[in-house]
Amino acid sequence: MKRSRAPTSLILAGLLAFILSLAGQTARAAEGEMSKESKACLSCHDKDGMTKTLESGEALSLAISAKAYTESMHKKTDCEDCHSNLDAKTHGKATTAIKSKREFALGMRDSCRDCHKKKATEYDDSVHAALIKAGSKKAPLCTDCHNPHTVRSAKVVGPIAETPCAKCHEAIFKAYSKDVHGLERVAKGISAPLCAGCHQAHAVKAASMGEGVKDACLACHKEAVNQHKDWLPNTALHFEAISCPVCHAPDAQRRVNLRLYDSTAKRQVAEKTGVPKFEKRTDAADSKDMGLDERALWSLLKEFNQDGGDGKMLLRGRLEVRSGVEAHQLSEKSKAIKDCDTCHKQGAAAFQSVTLTIAGPDGRPLRHGVQNEVLNSLTSMDSVRGFYAIGSTRIKLLDYLLILVVLGAASVPLVHMTIKRLFKGVREKLEAERLAAVQDLGKQASTGHRQAADNASK
Ligand code: HEC
Ligand code: HEC
Ligand code: HEC
Ligand code: HEC
Ligand code: HEC
Ligand code: HEC
Ligand code: HEC
Ligand code: HEC
Ligand code: HEC
């Protein structure tokens, strides 16, 4: 008995030694992928607690873990591929002057371009890149979202809190993590979107401008248009005029956003396309600081048009939620707003707050308050054309007209026919704008319609 024990433990010990040596070999094999030069860097830098104090007083950690590096997606990339600007002769011996972490990061920012051209180009077109160009110290560079020394594959699914967006958009992340997508994502993994699923990771655009976010929703929810059609008439127009969270974040406060719109180019007007200073103008027109009234709005639009707008500039309304946090409180479908009266009734809450926007230099919206009465007045018909919700305003004649349009000619009495004829021009204008809106949405409409819309808005 005693005899047989000794060999067993020997075999075990031998096995253990073998396993250990194997482990050592794999570790070396991994390091072996690293060039001599990179190893040399790590001989100094793979040290916990290695730091340097910058002029700003911040401590820059200089410790690079060899283990994490060899497990990263950059394991085959040499330190010098990105750090080509170090002086081999003096490096590590003399101290170099670095102002701040941000200055250092900015100095290194072009190091990703050569190898990741596509992502870099997408990023250049983002609101984040525009903010950095304008001098923002808070907007993200590549390295704010990817640590170059530890970067893992995008396919690795971590906890949602690891999304790089969370640290800067904290309040929104909190709301998102409790909403229908956040909960679904935690419960079932990646089928539900994380921030980049709706906003993109690199070509991030201002959320309330353009149609990017809505297109992202509809790309996943392919049946959504049909599912809404069952109960919501003219779904395309509703989707165009209402941002999805307005109905799907039922507790949110809502507002009307009047977007300055170029009816010829068929896009929102941007401050940088030569339109004179929006803020200066709106401030001047709003002398009492109570929001623009209908006259101010009207003459402002006239001014914008005189400045090269050539009469093609108009306002297009859109219902949206009032804050970024509320846009991320989407509930399950049974709680969504279905009651037409929420919007189509006189004095509806959604129409009590009105804002005017133009795309600012960085693509984000510049806003100015507008008195809610503008939606109710016939004078502003000309400026607020293209946006009109039945019942929610006091322009009664138009209500009749639209109800007529909706009911069709089936049971139209003579009186109504007269009204209809009287307001034919106005109605055609409205219809033309709607057509344009629907066309923009579907992109499949014919050019003939588009021309009709153009002619009508001239
Ligand atoms: C893919 C490009 C890339 C590679 C490869 C790379 N680095 Fe870096 N490194 C950077 C960038 C970019 C920064 C600036 C960090 C920032 O923007 O916050 C940086 C910063 C550093 C810093 C300053 C401390 C810090 O983390 O900001 C050290 C030290 C460093 N790198 C060492 C190394 C060593 C050693 C290697 C090789 C083992 C290496 N780097 C490989 C891109 C790279
Ligand atoms: C002999 C040790 C040593 C070696 C080898 C070494 N470094 Fe350093 N490195 C340092 C020290 C020390 C500092 C801090 C210098 C200071 O205080 O200015 C530093 C600073 C840095 C910084 C911060 C920016 C700066 O200029 O201070 C980077 C980035 C960096 N090293 C990258 C590398 C890379 C990449 C390699 C390999 C090509 C490398 N280091 C090799 C010791 C070393
Ligand atoms: C010398 C070329 C090179 C440079 C410079 C470089 N990378 Fe990479 N990067 C690679 C390679 C190679 C991979 C691995 C790609 C693969 O296997 O799909 C990679 C992978 C990545 C990944 C993970 C991709 C994935 O599949 O999920 C990210 C993120 C990344 N790099 C970011 C950066 C950032 C940020 C910088 C600048 C600090 C940078 N890279 C600079 C070569 C480079
Ligand atoms: C605001 C955060 C953010 C910034 C800034 C950012 N990225 Fe990314 N990046 C992400 C996220 C999130 C992913 C995950 C994949 C996705 O959803 O597209 C990603 C994925 C990647 C990938 C892997 C893509 C793939 O599909 O395999 C690469 C490579 C990459 N980024 C490089 C870069 C480079 C280079 C820059 C700078 C020009 C950069 N990123 C800037 C957030 C960012
Ligand atoms: C399900 C899609 C979806 C997801 C996921 C999502 N968002 Fe949004 N986000 C939206 C919508 C919709 C808006 C509002 C757009 C509008 O006005 O129509 C918005 C607006 C924003 C805004 C602008 C807020 C403002 O003040 O105008 C930011 C910033 C933002 N999101 C960041 C994030 C971040 C960070 C995450 C991840 C934590 C995230 N989003 C996840 C759909 C999404
Ligand atoms: C390093 C900080 C930082 C990171 C990381 C970051 N952002 Fe931002 N982001 C900003 C700043 C600063 C602004 C401009 C201020 C604002 O609008 O909140 C901004 C603006 C935005 C806007 C435009 C807001 C608007 O008015 O519509 C969106 C959308 C956005 N970020 C989405 C994201 C998404 C998605 C991610 C992750 C892929 C992300 N951000 C990661 C700092 C960051
Ligand atoms: C006018 C309010 C309203 C608007 C605007 C709206 N929805 Fe809905 N949505 C609803 C209601 C109400 C339901 C629930 C319908 C039911 O259960 O019969 C719903 C259901 C859904 C469902 C679940 C469908 C199903 O049957 O499983 C999805 C997904 C959805 N909406 C996405 C969207 C998207 C994406 C947008 C924006 C493009 C949007 N919704 C705009 C009110 C709206
Ligand atoms: C990456 C794909 C993806 C994107 C983008 C996306 N969703 Fe979803 N959404 C899901 C998944 C997955 C679920 C949970 C499973 C389900 O109910 O379909 C979900 C659930 C929902 C629900 C709850 C449906 C129910 O049955 O109760 C609503 C409402 C919804 N999404 C609306 C939106 C809106 C609005 C947007 C854009 C602002 C959007 N989604 C963007 C994938 C997506
Ligand atoms: C969240 C607010 C909201 C809800 C809920 C809503 N609508 Fe609307 N609806 C609008 C807005 C805003 C417009 C105006 C769009 C425009 O003129 O640009 C509109 C337009 C219309 C139009 C005119 C379409 C046209 O072709 O001119 C009809 C009809 C209509 N809605 C019917 C309904 C019915 C029926 C319901 C309930 C099943 C409903 N809406 C629910 C906001 C809403």
CA of 91 to the centre of ligand 2 (A): 6
Distance between Cα 246 and ligand 9 center (Å): 13
Residue 455 has pLDDT above 50, yes or no: no
Nearest atom in ligand 7 to 343's CA? 1
Residue of 316, 347, 134, 294 lying closest to 208 (CA atoms): 316
pLDDT of residue 24: 36
- Asked if 271 contacts 130 with a C-beta cutoff of 8 angstroms, the reply is no
User: Strand 354-359 relative to strand 267-268: parallel, antiparallel, unpaired?
Assistant: unpaired
- Burial of 259-286, coded b for 16+ CB within 10 Å and e otherwise, reads bbbbbeeeebbbbeeebeebeebbeebb
Does 29 map to a domain?
A: no
Is ligand 4 within 6 A of the CB of residue 115? no
Task: Quote the number of domains for the chain.
Answer: 2
* Residues above pLDDT 70, as percent of the chain: 73
Query: 344, 361 in Cβ contact below 8 A?
Result: no
pLDDT at 274: 58
Q: Whose CA is nearest to atom 20 of ligand 6?
A: 128
Q: How many CB atoms lie within 10 A of CB 72?
A: 19
Per-residue DSSP letters for 363-414? SSEEEEEE-GGGGG-SGGGTTSTT---TTTSS-HHHHHHHHHHHH-STT--H
Instruction: Report pTM.
Output: 0.87
Distance CA 394, CA 346 (A): 7
140, 223: one domain: no
Asked whether residue 107 is assigned to any structural domain, the reply reads yes
Tell me, yes or no, whether 137 and 221 share the same domain.
Answer: no
Counting atoms of ligand 4 from 1, which one is nearest the CA of 144?
A: 5
DSSP state at residue 334: G
Pick the ligand that lies closest to the CA of residue 254: 9
Check residues 26 and 265 and name the one with the higher pLDDT: 265
Q: Looking at the domain assignment, is residue 1 inside a domain? A: no
For 21-60, write each residue's pLDDT tens digit: 334 334 444 445 789 999 999 999 999 999 999 999 999 9
Confidence of residue 409 (pLDDT cuts 50, 70, 90): very low
Coil, strand or helix: which one is 261? Answer: strand
Give 450 or 377, the one with higher predicted confidence: 377
Same domain, 274 and 418: yes
Q: Which ligand places an atom closest to the C-alpha of 320? A: 5
Which residue's CA lies nearest to atom 34 of ligand 1? 79
Q: Which of the four pLDDT bands, split at 50, 70 and 90, describes residue 404?
A: very low
Question: H-type helices in 278-372, by residue range?
Answer: 278-285, 294-304
Determine which helix (DSSP H) or strand (DSSP E) holds 418, and give its type and residue range. Answer: helix 414-422
Question: Which helix (H) or strand (E) segment is 448 a member of?
Answer: helix 447-457
Cα 304 from Cα 452, distance rounded (Å): 23
What does the pLDDT average to over 258-281?
78
* Cβ-proximal residues to 168 (8 Å cutoff; 6+ apart), any chain: 138, 140, 144
Indicate whether 410 pLDDT > 50.
Answer: no
Cα–Cα dist 36/323, whole Å: 53
Q: Is the CB of 42 under 6 A from ligand 1?
A: yes
Give percent above pLDDT 90 in the chain.
48
3 pLDDT tier (thresholds 50, 70, 90) = very low
Residues 334, 411, single domain; the answer is yes
Top-confidence residue, 399 or 414: 399
Q: What is the mean pLDDT of residues 268-288?
A: 78
Is 134 inside a domain boundary?
yes
Is the separation of the CB atoms in 242 and 164 below 8 Å?
A: no
For residue 247, what pLDDT band results from cuts at 50, 70 and 90?
very high
419 plus 321 within the same structural domain: yes
Least confident of 127-136, 194-203, 423-432: 423-432
Residues 225 and 314 in one domain: yes
Among the bound ligands, name the one nearest to the CA of residue 166: 5
Testing ligand 8's pocket by substitution, the residue of 163, 214, 217 carrying the most ligand atoms inside 8 A of its CB is: 217
Element spanning 45, H or E: helix 36-45
- Structural domain for 141, as ranges: 97-151
For residues 9 and 129, give the distance between their C-alpha atoms in angstroms, rounded to a whole number.
63
Do 236 and 125 lie in one domain? The reply is: no
Maximum average pLDDT range among 43-47, 276-280, 429-433 = 43-47
Q: Write the residue with the smallest CA distance to atom 38 of ligand 8.
A: 217
Residues 144, 217, single domain; the answer is no
Q: At what angle do helices 294-304 and 278-285 cross, to 10 degrees?
A: 150
- Token pair 């990741």 in the structure block, residue: 116
Looking at residue 414, its pLDDT comes to 38
- Find out whether the beta carbon of 132 lies less than 6 Å from any atom of ligand 5: no
Residue 9, domain member (yes or no): no
Task: Decide: 86 in ligand 2 pocket, CB within 6 A.
Answer: yes
Q: Which residues line ligand 8 (CB under 6 A)?
A: 180-181, 184, 191-193, 197-198, 213, 216-217, 220-221, 244, 248, 330, 332-333
Hunting for tokens 């353009």 — which residue is that? 210
pLDDT value at residue 430: 54
Ligand 7, atom 34, lies closest to the CA of 244
Dmax of the chain from CA atoms?
115
The answer to the question of residue 41 being in a domain is no
**Ligand 1 close to Cβ of residue 83 (< 6 A):** yes
Q: Are 118 and 226 within one domain?
A: no
pLDDT digits (tens, 9 = 90+) for 327-370: 999 999 999 999 988 888 777 888 888 899 888 888 899 999 98
The H-or-E segment that residue 258 falls in is strand 254-262
Q: Which of 133, 151, 169 is the last residue of a domain?
A: 151
Residue 446 lies inside a defined structural domain of this protein: yes
| Average pLDDT value over all residues in the chain | 79
Neighbours of 120 (CB within 10 A): 17
* The pLDDT of residue 121 is above 50: yes
Query: Residue 133: inside a domain, yes or no?
Result: yes
Q: Quick one: average pLDDT of 122-128?
A: 96
* Residue 410 in tokens: 């089936």
Look up residue 419 and give its DSSP letter: H
